[in-house]
Amino acid sequence: MKICHYLLSTLVVLSLTLFCCQSPSSSSKTSTQKVDSLLSVMTLEEKVGQLNFLVGDLFNTGPTVRTAESDKFDILIRDGKITGLFNVHGAAYTARLQKIAVEQSRLKIPLLFGADVIHGFKTVMPLSLAEASSWDMEAIELAARIAAEESTAAGINFTFAPMVDISRDARWGRVSEGAGEDPYLASCIAEARVNGFQGKALSEANTLAACIKHFAAYGAPIAGREYNTVDISERTLREIYLPPYKAGIDAGVATVMTAFNELNDIPASGNTYLLKDILRNEWDFNGMVVSDWQSIGEMIEHGYSADSMEAARQALETGVDMDMMSEIYIEQIPELVKTGKLDVALLDNAVRRVLELKYALGLFDNPYIYSDTLREKVTLRSTEHLTAARDIARKSIVLLKNEKQLLPLHSNYKKIAIIGPFGNNKEDMNGSWSFFGEAQHPVSVAEGLRTAMPNTSFIVAEGCNLYNDKTDKLQEAVKAALQSELVLLVVGESAPMHGEGASRADIGLPGIQQRLVEEIYKTGKPIVLLLVNGRPLAIEWVDQHIPAIVETWTLGSEAGNAIADVLTGEFNPSGKLPMSFPRHIGQVPIFYNHKNTGRPYLGDYSEPGAERVYRSRYRDVQNTPLYPFGYGLSYSTFTYTNMVLDKTSMKNNETITVTVTISNTSNRDGDEVVQLYIRDLAGSVTRPIKELKGFKKVHLKAKETSTVTFTIDKEMLSFYRADMSWGSEPGKFHVMAGGSSDTVLKQEITLLP
């Protein structure tokens, strides 16, 4: 390895010498001047090459358009036909490709290397939805920082993350990749992730360009079906879906990715309202916009563009700078410009944004800054990173139910059965969107527990297969349960069951896992059920029958250790759900910040007569979720006793201070996320029954009482009014606080005219 590093360094010095003599970066000009002088010498073909972004050979997340010749990338790079490659990695490999660009291509423009570094790199962090359950912005930022440290050492300078699409529909497979259903929480997380990836300055060797995606409203496909049509009101778009993208932009994100979906009849990659009116004009975003995989070409399938030429023109005119995988820009734009159908100034603007990104990343000064074999060797899966991953993972676990004091497990158990397809499973702990994590690396649940509880013996039984309905493993599992004092049932979804292209119409336990749970239940043994999954599941039977349930999502490299920390009580769980769990699939989409309707059903389900029938409700299932947004238990017990306001009315330029008293009534130190919600009781448009406006994670020692303070200002009372202007309206509001969206404390305030 040392030899390789030495060789690489030599190459770097040599090539830099060559490059610097001839590149526009050698002068003391500003980057804008440098870009302009570079643009002035570029041919039409070279310009278009800077907009052409292709996938490398290492892995694909969509259909590819080229068949391989082994040196195809070398040729494309040398000829200036690509701006970079994505889903490639490795310091030596990326340096080799970069060398071709900066030594053999005419203009020596360095390459971008992009990748879906979504939740960790070689150190795999918890799934994004899992991390969101921590409500811990420092932890989330740290996870992104570590991912940046590792991926930049391996040559990557551009991550297609964070994905900030809100989703209220757990059937959609990509809820796993986002931060859940709430715009406020998701906005905080978007900011933390952008800061984590981009660090203090993009030009540093351990930071990379982040990408807010998928713009916009990709998380609202009809019926939760992947890539389906999105048809929502402008108010819903602006109040629910847009805030996290905006938060990412405000945090200084370098790039934005368009979405596959159409939004209100126009595909996102040609949507002027989204890309021009909102992104560029309203939000003043000057960074680079990249399409999603072939999404420019797919505008033909959508029935929006008549042909490739029209698709290219529409996307570029709308402001999509870079074409990921359609190859439509490179094929069509020269002709469009030559025939006067496209203004060359538009092309120049797109190229300018790409070149500016490359300057900002420091690539013109040192094209090898991100390809560092020595740093790669010491950084990837370092002890420090794995320790942090374990801590972030345990913070991401949500305790859903804990009856009969089953948890934490006491150390006197002689024999415990670990049953289910995920008990001994390593690969699925990496979760969806974890291409860089290796299948054999994660710590399994069984491994974690064996280390944590050396005096207990564990019997492991798979119980069933995930992908067929064969019952041949059931009996062995029942036998294992009968031989043990306690059963840990580890059930859920494999990694390919969530993520892109993984919508599910039935979000119960896949395969015959429900049957497995019922068979084990019949043994009468105490059961702790661990969920391994990438979305909220409809598990009402489980909730009704199993005394202890722990949501572990997928927790990455340190999964088993983090789970053992929580099960043994080494770590007191503190996670809270970022998405509601339905009782039944028929309730989906289900979300806490819904409207009241004219006939709300708040009453008792046993109430007879018309009062109960002609209400907004189902005949067969309750309205409420199984577990609400913001919910999660601890081994400590917290009580909320008092909410004090410094005044009960305010003018628009004033604030109200809310103080909430919270006590840890247990004998255990613990963390609690105190949540603040507000409801506007009457307005020029109807408002949700509550909206999250603030939260604070507090640590309370055993028996400690403390207060948490929030300040209500006019922003918290504002919304898009009937005329779509942003602002507040005088009137009454409810202020609510508690440990979940099912809040306990409530007070009324008035906003004065």
- Closest distance to ligand BGC from the beta carbon of 58 (Å): 11
Give the three-class secondary structure for 692: strand
Sketch the per residue contact string, 637 through 676, with ligand BGC: x for CB under 6 A, - otherwise: ----------------------------------------
**Is 292 considered catalytic here?**
yes
Residue (of 471, 466, 591) closest to 533 by Cα position: 466
Cis? peptide before 452, omega within 30° of 0: no
Distances (CA, A) of 455 to 82, 461, 514: 59, 20, 31
- Closest distance to ligand BGC from the beta carbon of 62 (Å): 4
Phi and psi at 708, nearest 5°, equal: -125, 135
| DSSP per residue, 183-224 | HHHHHHHHHHHHHHHH-S-TTSTT--B-EEEEETTTT--GGG
Q: What is the CB-side half-sphere exposure of residue 333 using CA atoms within 13 A?
A: 34
Q: Which is nearer to ligand BGC, 501 or 727 (CB)?
A: 501
Sketch the per residue contact string, 194 through 223, with ligand BGC: x for CB under 6 A, - otherwise: -------------------x----------
Residue nearest to ligand BGC (CB): 160
Q: Which is nearer to ligand BGC, 499 or 560 (CB)?
A: 499
- Closest distance to ligand BGC from the beta carbon of 214 (Å): 6
User: What does the H/E/C string look like for 366-394?
Assistant: CCCCCECHHHHHHHCCCHHHHHHHHHHHH
Q: Where are the alpha helices (DSSP H) in 644-700?
A: none
Taking CB under 6 A as the rule, does residue 435 contact ligand BGC? no
Phi and psi at 507, nearest 5°, equal: -105, 35
| Candidate list 262, 292, 356, 729; residue touching ligand BGC; CB under 6 A | 292
Q: Which is nearer to ligand BGC, 98 or 294 (CB)?
A: 294
| Candidate list 61, 349, 465, 637; residue touching ligand BGC; CB under 6 A | 61
What is the size of the binding site for ligand BGC (CB under 6 A)?
A: 9
Residue (of 736, 689, 688) closest to 712 by Cα position: 736
Sketch the per residue contact string, 497 through 536, with ligand BGC: x for CB under 6 A, - otherwise: ---x------------------------------------
Q: Which is nearer to ligand BGC, 48 or 54 (CB)?
A: 54
Q: Which is nearer to ligand BGC, 62 or 731 (CB)?
A: 62
Q: Which is nearer to ligand BGC, 87 or 187 (CB)?
A: 87
| Candidate list 31, 62, 668, 744; residue touching ligand BGC; CB under 6 A | 62
Taking CB under 6 A as the rule, does residue 136 contact ligand BGC? no
User: What does the H/E/C string look like for 133-192?
Assistant: CCCCHHHHHHHHHHHHHHHHHECCCEECCCECCCCCCCCCHHHHHCCCCCHHHHHHHHHH
Phi and psi at 282, nearest 5°, equal: -70, -45
- Closest distance to ligand BGC from the beta carbon of 61 (Å): 4
Taking CB under 6 A as the rule, does residue 293 contact ligand BGC? yes
User: Under a CB-based contact definition with an 8 Å cutoff, are residues 433 and 116 in contact?
Assistant: yes
Taking CB under 6 A as the rule, does residue 113 contact ligand BGC? no
CA-to-CA distance for 128 and 132, rounded, in angstroms?
Answer: 6
CA dihedral (632, 569, 441, 162) positive or negative = positive
| DSSP per residue, 479-522 | HHHHTSSEEEEEEE--GGGSSTT---S--S-STTHHHHHHHHHH
Q: Which is nearer to ligand BGC, 164 or 491 (CB)?
A: 164
| Candidate list 93, 160, 215, 631; residue touching ligand BGC; CB under 6 A | 160
| Options 136, 182, 292, 671, the catalytic residue | 292
Instruction: Return residues touching ligand BGC (CB under 6 A).
Output: 61-62, 87, 116, 160, 213, 292-293, 500
Active site residues: 292
